[in-house]
Structure 1
Amino acid sequence: MTVRAEGTALARLAGLVGDGGVVVLSGAGLSTESGIPDYRGPTGRSRNAEPMTYQRFVGSEEARRRYWARSHVGWRQIAAARPNAGHRAVADLERRGLLAGIVTQNVDGLHQAAGARQVIELHGGLDRVVCLSCRERTPRADLDARLRAANPGWAADAGQINPDGDAVLTDDQVKGFRVVDCHSCGGILKPDVVFFGENVPRPRVDHCFALVGSARALLVLGSSLAIRSGLRFVARAAELGLPIAIVNQGPTGGDHHATLTLDAPLGPTLTALTSVGPRDAGAVGSGTRAAQ
């Protein structure tokens, strides 16, 4: 049943985390307090957005032009984002030796910016660019400078920024934008992230499964678990009989596997978690609901 039990819920979560060996699985909801919208959560500004697919990107020069024009604008918001209280709390838990690792579905790099070190970027990172021919990886900042040089005087204001840094622009705004290729081999450049229709590299998936397999518990933060990419790790933890805690605003696709669920804002909840001992709960802020 569902009960209002702020202190009890936080005490249970603190006890689970305080025993150590926890793997964190984070999603877009953890970054909304940094100003980055999510796809399915409360901010939901991009729910009707049509993400770029790998097939369209590699198969159409015009699709690449549209993507890079939109991403060139949206990258400014991603690059300017700063870690919020939730990211800092996760980094603090890692510094205390309570985490076995962090698997993030986010591509914004905010876990690392907050000081976390053991981070697996399941879907890659927007701060890097990869050549699809020679596989050379270069910093996104370098590409940004090259695109600015290739498009002098080009400017566009976006009415909306999507979670992957994709800005919504009109056809007229995109028209005339010049794309640059790999400076080493002339190949197609792509952000070093996993597009829809593209598989996460198998070694990366295996690494995440191994991490879950050696964990004592799984803590899901800010993920709706609506797609298999993250849900599979929750399912594996359930198969292994691991305690599973989920902190998210709204229901998730993994709630039926969970030992504990908290419907609560991530920043205040995780800050409260780091301020109490593993067996001693304080107040966690009004509105928190725990299912047990």
Structure 2
Amino acid sequence: MRTRPTLSWSPTEDLPPGTTDLGPVADALRSGGVLVLSGAGISTESGIPDYRGEGGSLSRHTPMTYQDFTASARARRRYWARSHLGWRTFGRARPNAGHRAVAAFERRGLLSGVITQNVDGLHQAAGSEGVVELHGSLDRVVCLSCGAFSPRRELARRLEQANEGFAPVAAGINPDGDADLTDEQVGDFRVVPCAVCGGILKPDVVFFGETVPPQT
């Protein structure tokens, strides 16, 4: 009876060894037409954690899903309480050397475009233009009923007024701007509706369980 051979191949076996030689990168950039695709790693030096890296938040935090957000007023209260507190820190993040380098390459005409999975807007803050945001941006809010968009800073002002004195101490901040709060800390946090139609407000980001807009 023949036995099936054991497969011991690893996808890393065909990769060259790690190196700090940036020559090939410089050569690629010098030729131009480079497309930049960035993820959470580029923003960690700006104080925004990632999901899957060492100590990433997925090890301790379950992100909000679209299904939970739309189905449960309690889930929305919990989300907005945590996100409102997290925004105070998230909104103060500034571009780091990585963002500035990408913007510099773009200004010199070396890039064909910038696509990011991040929702922090730091590429734009560094000077990049025409950035494709695969997962949206936390600095915008959209109404699920009428589709009206509004600035996040305006929602922050309204939430401050509706929840005067809300200032719990969070255990940490997650990549989606969500602060780690207990149910007790969330308490009876008040969520405000759309100022246009009274509908449900959602950050203009792609939640887990939601699809990226076709036009994006």
TM over 0.5: yes
* Pairwise CA RMSD: 1.1
Change (3 A) 1:4 1:108: closer
Contact 2:57–2:175 at 8 Å: present in 1 too? no
Change (3 A) 1:79 1:153: same
Q: CA deviation at 1:46?
A: 4.2
Q: Which of structure 1's runs of 4+ aligned residues deviate more than 3 A? A: 1-5
Q: Deviations over 1:230-280 (max 9, x none)?
A: xxxxxxxxxxxxxxxxxxxxxxxxxxxxxxxxxxxxxxxxxxxxxxxxxxx
Corresponding residue for 1:171?
183
Determine whether 1:101 maps to 2:113: yes
Distance 2:207 2:77 in 1: 16
Greater RCO (CA < 8 Å, at least 6 residues apart): 1
Q: CA deviation at 1:81?
A: 0.4
Distance 2:108 2:174 in 1: 34
Change (3 A) 1:175 1:5: closer
Determine whether 1:71 maps to 2:90: no
Change (3 A) 1:51 1:45: closer
Code of the aligned partner of 1:138? S
Determine whether 1:32 maps to 2:44: yes
> What percentage of aligned pairs have identical amino acids?
64
The equivalent position to 2:64 in structure 1, one of 36, 52, 61, is 52
Code of the aligned partner of 1:64? R
Contact 2:144–2:199 at 8 Å: present in 1 too? yes
Q: Secondary structure at the match of 1:138?
A: strand
- Written as runs of structure 1 = structure 2, the 5 A alignment for 1:14-33 is 14-33=26-45
Distance 1:5 1:34 in 2: 25
Distance 1:131 1:5 in 2: 48
TM-score (norm: length of structure 1): 0.67
- Written as runs of structure 1 = structure 2, the 5 A alignment for 1:101-250 is 101-204=113-216
Contact 1:38–1:45 at 8 Å: present in 2 too? yes
TM-score (norm: length of structure 2): 0.91
Q: CA deviation at 1:45?
A: 4.0
Distance 2:92 2:27 in 1: 35
- Written as runs of structure 1 = structure 2, the 5 A alignment for 1:74-93 is 74-93=86-105
Q: CA deviation at 1:6?
A: 2.6
Determine whether 1:3 maps to 2:17: yes
Q: Deviations over 1:214-233 (max 9, x none)?
A: xxxxxxxxxxxxxxxxxxxx
Contact 1:75–1:165 at 8 Å: present in 2 too? yes
Q: Deviations over 1:11-50 (max 9, x none)?
A: 1111111111111110000000000000011341443310
Corresponding residue for 2:12?
none
Corresponding residue for 2:24?
12
Consecutive unaligned residues of structure 1, counting only runs of 5 or more, are 205-292
- Greater gyration radius: 2
Determine whether 1:61 maps to 2:61: no
Q: What is the aligned residue count?
A: 202
Corresponding residue for 1:223?
none
Q: Secondary structure at the match of 1:111?
A: helix
Distance 1:120 1:83 in 2: 17
